[in-house]
Each structure stands twice: as structure tokens, then as C-alpha cells.
Amino acid sequence: MNNTIINNIIDGKKFSQMLRKNLKNEVDNLKNKENIVPKLAVIVVGDDPASRTYVNNKKKACTEIGIISKEYSLSQETKQNELIKLLDELNKDKEINGILVQLPLPHHINEKEIIEHINPLKDVDAFHELNVGKIMTNNFSFLPCTPAGIMELLKQSDISVAGKHCVIVGRSNIVGKPMAMLLLHKDATVTICHSKTIDLSKFTKTADILIVAVGKAKFIKKEMVKPGAVVIDVGINRTDAGGLCGDVDFENVKEIASYITPVPGGVGPMTIALLMKNTITATLIQNNIK
């Protein structure tokens, strides 16, 4: 059995550590051979506690791998034109290889306009329309970090998606839609469910691979899952006791799933590792290094 899977639980932390080790080697080689060190700009607007946690984790990963991270912490009252001015500066700065704007943004700022203002070659989240279009045609340089992390988890767990029925619960631009495209590119049959889906369990019970990203604590119950299914839980929710849980009722669903990701320690660590990978890819592209 793969030593990153204990019983039927996929250990995203161990997989991410393996990937980070490889990425650190890439950064070391880039520094030694080309005298180039990848540099990531992280923009945070406001003081959302969850955003602060995510940003701190990303900065920690950068330090571990050898990527320089530069944080731009802006107040909640920052105007949209001020944020766009900062993006213009970062787009032009040849020392900056990747730009990440931590979402969500305050309500008075238009997220779509901000994302479209990032240089697509520095868009390490792969949210820009140009990069999204490239994912559709399977001709991409960057992939959204969470879907890419899930594909890596499946690959490293020796779980083939070809010919499998993959059901995605959630249709966001960040997870659900790009996830569907990546699975299609690997020959899966894909169903996307969402808040308007009638009789959701009718679909989830047919899934060979079930991917859940809805932001509702323990939403997927044991009776909604086919015995032997692979269950990937993208959700991160705060419990009444102050802990974290996913969108899947983990303790009960793990009894019938062939494989399942925990929360925390499943998809989350892979998401950050793939962000690091995207930053390195952006650096290589901008410096014409094959």
C-alpha cells in the first residue's frame, strides 16, 4: 500500500511534502544555474481571519521552498483604483514573477475586474479569463491550485479517472468548473451538481469519484455516497467547538469510501504546493527557460 495512504485516508500533508521537496530542488537549481530566485507578490485587502491564515501558510511555504514572497497588506477601505494602481506596478516589475490577490475582496471592490487586471503570465492562481480559456482547450501554462492539487492527489494515490463517473458538487470558477475540465481531459465522465440540482443524492450515489466543494459543514452524508467511492473533500468549515471540518461527514463516510481525504490535511496542503509550482512555472516562462 502507498505509504501516504493509511487505511483508506489520503494524507495530503505527506504528498505535499514530497512535492515541496522537489520544488525546492527546482528553485535551488534555478538559483545556482541562472542566478534567478522566483518572487511572489501577495496582496491582502482587509483583515479577514481566514485570509490571514491562508496568506501566512503561503508565506511559510515560500520560505521553505526558497521563493521570495512580498506581502502587500492593504486596509479594508482601500479603493478599487488604488488596488489597480498597485497591480499596474507589479505587472511592470520584472522582479515579480507571480501575483496573487487573496480572495474574498471587500464588497466595494469588483473581484472580476481585479483578476482581469493581473498580467496572465503572472496569474499564479490561474483565474484570468485567458488562462481559464486555455484550460478549456487543454493548452494551459497554469492551473487553478485546488483542482490541480486534487488531480495530483489522485495520480499519486494511483487512482485512475479514465472511464470513471466523477461527480462534482459545486460549480464555482475556482474549483467546480476547472475541476470538470481537468477530469474530462483525463477521460472521465463528469457530472456537475449545484444548489439548484433536484435530488442531489440521486447523482452523488452514482459517483465512482465524488468531489465536494460547497462550503457546508458535513453536508454529504453516508447514505449519499456509493460504497467503494473515492471521496475528495474540498470544504473547510469552522465547527461550533472551534475546530475544522469539511463538507463531508468524514467519520461516517470513511466507513464505506475506498479512499477519502481528511479536513484538515487533505486537499489544503496540496493547494498551497501547487501555488508554489505555478510561481516557479511563471518564473521559467518569463525568463524563457525551458
- Please indicate whether residue 125 is annotated as part of the active site: yes
- Pick the catalytic residue from 102, 226, 233, 277: 102
At 211 the three-state DSSP class reads: strand
Provide the grid cell at 190: 463528469
| 203 CB-near residues (< 8 Å, 6+ apart) | 167, 191, 193, 197
- Pick the catalytic residue from 123, 125, 233, 249: 125
- Pick the catalytic residue from 11, 39, 58, 164: 58
- Please indicate whether residue 218 is annotated as part of the active site: no
- Euclidean distance between CA atoms 172 and 178, whole angstroms: 8
- Euclidean distance between CA atoms 171 and 228, whole angstroms: 24
To 5 degrees, how large is the angle CA 49–CA 52–CA 55?
155
What is the pairing mode between strands 39-45 and 68-74?
parallel
- Euclidean distance between CA atoms 246 and 215, whole angstroms: 8
- Please indicate whether residue 79 is annotated as part of the active site: no
Catalytic residues: 58, 102, 125
